[in-house]
Structure 1
């Protein structure tokens, strides 16, 4: 008789340097080991991940399975779907291969589902970024969830398996934001609760400047999501915060300033001054992450390039999906 009540799915791709810590935290749960399983879904890894996970499988008395998510479609969405298909539990939890979950993570999730007076479909909790990027040539990417912002990110979320199957699981056409998009679809069939006592630490990701710029294409996927779910515009706190960004205004203002200088307009210097002031107001005077003013001033060209790329991907997405959205 199957005793498995909960399945934890961890997609992985070349994370031999961190996945051992993730599995260790999942094995050290206060929830009975015979009642939950851990599925590591491998998205065509080429490093030592399989060797490390196989060693842990031999050492631990937990139910750990390693599955190769062999498919033409690559990415975490497909890897998670393979995990869902092979899950034995009625409740499925997701975390990432660079995360460390609290030792009562599974038990608290189960207790919330069992004790809830509502017929909830999902549950998500806090995510805290740990670590730092010491190299000046690296840009940190932080994943943080502190309150009920409607983000539903997969480092810390649980869903009922039957609900996931009903809504069609993760959309494999989305390379980014597939976890948030899934949450939006689940919301249509049932409530997703936020549980602040459900805690996960997410290791900081240190990106090269090239990789950081490349990841800005995520903006295009935001446009794609809203073209599919226009009813979510301004609905969630997470997306509402992103839509309030003034960055497109800064870029447009800078272009007007440049054109004004080229054509020697009388008001050119006024526009240039206003543009510089707008940038300085947000990125220099009030940037608490960079304490020394010389470094803040040097940050100006970096943020300008980032804002320019975001405007590019917003425009590209708006044309591609025929849905106007600026970030």
Structure 2
């Protein structure tokens, strides 16, 4: 009979330096080494991560650590499913490769759990940011206040089997955690907050204009809304992004006005688009870094975000066949 009480599942892909910090934190957990295991799942072929894991397995024989590699990229939801399905512990904890769990993280979950109990847990995720953060840092800070995130949660394996684990249609790191949360709530599974189950989630360095690239994730909002419309409106987005629609509408009126030589229409559209765009830029710059680089990034990306966000939202609505605005 296995002595493993809790399994940790970490999805990863081509981030060995970040993963190594996470592994060091897990190796230092205040638990007997034979009472927990670490399962790392690469979301596709990953030579550097395989080398790192081979080294860890060889140099730390007392640590229960296993490495799996998916045949091709499917997304973190699929990687997590592969991990928990191969877990030997009654409890399964999830964190990300860019996170650093505190030494008492797993202990906190184990002490809060009674064997056979149908329950789920979420811990406290701490996101350190600078005194004058960037927009990207503020967006990451939102993880600190989220109800339930896969960077720091824990479920009995039996409960994961009951709800079917993660929906692998969420092929990017977006909304798959909310989907699992809604599944649990839909099944009447209580989600208990364990504040002393703490994980540090540093803000990763981001490329200039990262917020433009991130808009593609919006398509998965449509999938989550299709599955749980009431919960989506209650916990994610109470109403459609009217400010985006107004900006796009104003821009369209301006273009049409210019096309038909209507100065009034063109000016009206320009004013609508300009006022709401300036408000959007000001909102994003509020309490954030006012360096030339960051201000220019906010201006440029704010011009593009409404159009890209709504494009991907419509794309998701068509793809998942749901009326989602």
Q: TM-score range by the shorter chain?
A: 0.7 to 0.9
Residue aligned with 1:65, SS: strand
Q: Which residue number corresponds to residue 63 of structure 1? A: 63
Q: CA RMSD in A?
A: 3.0
Cα separation, 2, equivalents of 1:268 and 1:106? 60
Say whether residues 1:259 and 2:227 are aligned partners. Answer: no
Q: Which residue number corresponds to residue 156 of structure 1? A: 152
Question: TM-score, structure 1 length as denominator?
Answer: 0.84
More helix as a share of residues: 2
Residue aligned with 1:40, SS: strand
| Aligned length in residues | 316
Cα separation, 1, equivalents of 2:229 and 2:119? 22
Does 293-302 or 97-106 show the bigger shift?
293-302
CA contact (8 A) 1:12 1:45 kept: no
From 232, 236, 240, the counterpart of 2:237:
240
Paired residues for 1:86-105 under 5 Å: 86-105=86-105
Q: Which residue number corresponds to residue 51 of structure 2? A: 51
Question: TM-score, structure 2 length as denominator?
Answer: 0.85
Paired residues for 1:169-318 under 5 Å: 169-176=165-172, 177-189=175-187, 190-208=189-207, 213-236=212-235, 239-240=236-237, 243=240, 246-263=243-260, 264-284=262-282, 287-291=286-290, 296=295, 299-318=298-317
Does 123-132 or 89-98 show the bigger shift?
123-132
Cα separation, 2, equivalents of 1:74 and 1:317? 18
Q: Which residue number corresponds to residue 124 of structure 2? A: 126
CA shift digits 1:48-89 (9 cap, x unpaired): 222222222233354333332434562222221121121111
CA shift digits 1:187-208 (9 cap, x unpaired): 2220112233322122323344
Residue aligned with 1:200, SS: strand
277 and 215 in structure 1: CA distance in 2 versus 1, 3 angstrom threshold? closer
Q: Which residue number corresponds to residue 109 of structure 1? A: 109
Cα separation, 2, equivalents of 1:33 and 1:219? 41
CA contact (8 A) 1:250 1:279 kept: yes
173 and 143 in structure 1: CA distance in 2 versus 1, 3 angstrom threshold? farther
CA contact (8 A) 2:96 2:151 kept: yes
271 and 161 in structure 1: CA distance in 2 versus 1, 3 angstrom threshold? same
Residue aligned with 1:10, SS: strand
Paired residues for 1:30-41 under 5 Å: 30-41=30-41
Residue aligned with 1:216, SS: helix
Q: Return 5+ residue gaps in structure 1 as ranges.
A: none
CA contact (8 A) 2:44 2:73 kept: no
